[in-house]
Structure 1
Amino acid sequence: MTVILIGGTSHAGKSSLAARIAGKRGWTQQSTDMLARHPGRPWPEPRPEIAEFYSQLSPDTAHWLLLAHHENMRPMIGRVIGDARSRGRNLVLEGSALRPEYMADWATETVHCLFLHAEPDHIAERIYANSRYHEQAGSQRALIDAFITRSLIDNNAGLESARKHGIRVVSVTTDVAATELLAGLAP
């Protein structure tokens, strides 16, 4: 049984890497977004509370609230990992709620952890494309800009935490991550 945890900020490529690994191995793939989502992306049509969140909070406060949400999710994620282990089920679990400081507690010989890190321009470009930023009105762009700023703060905080806690950091600008990871796993 193997569990692979893939953390990283929004739009770092977690879902893509998880799908590649799970597909190649025939394993189950799951996202922490399915457990709970906070507060969501401010596109295509943001709900009023999401618009309020991104328009009225400072980037640091928005990030702090994201961290509080992830802390609240920690027990649920622990149960998902424990369930996979107790059932002997191979699992690729990805999500921004997989913070490096949490992964350090879950890492074992059968629970492998990585943190995806991307350069700021890479994250911004992916968000611009996904949100169709250049087609949005000015007020919508402001919400997306706030989301980008929060995501970049999270990207840097995650990198610092991964280094501090000894979690493997993979740059998403190279395609070596999945190849190296797959090569290191038992067939």
Structure 2
Amino acid sequence: MTEQITINGKKVYEGTVTFVSKGYVKITLLSGDKGTLFLNEITDLPINLISHFKVDSKIYVLIKKRCFDGTLVLSMKGLFNKNVSTYSKRESLYCTAISTCNLGTFVQITPDLIGLVYNIYLQKGTSLLASVCSIDDINHRISLVPESVLYDEPDARVNLNYGDISIAQNVAEECAA
């Protein structure tokens, strides 16, 4: 394997997304190895993979195992997310609206972390910058206050980054779905 880097003490590999469905993402690593990243290897939360991954975008993944036919089972679990206790009040976060409820809008912060922006109702797929208002360590929840809406068009795109590393290109193509 080549093109290995270390993120949060874990060996990860760069690859390119070749196919996206509701349950998995097909990825080709720079070494030429092909693998599958299943939804349960990204998060335990119900997210729309088609909204988070785009064909030909670059992505960093962990190699979980190699199957008998040479294909890889890949993972992103715990790679880029933070535990809610590591966030601090007034910290600014990039997030994407995923649904609304009577309290406000639920937003995706990382694949494993969803927050709530109270009393603001945004269209699904809207990207925004929000600051942390309160943290609930017991229930693993975070509430946010919006700072600014970045993209509110259904076809708007935003690149999500971890430092100078692009995690995935977030495309709000299925906002109306």
Q: Name the TM tier (shorter chain).
A: under 0.3
More strand by share: 2
TM-score by length of 1: 0.25
More helix by share: 1
TM-score by length of 2: 0.27
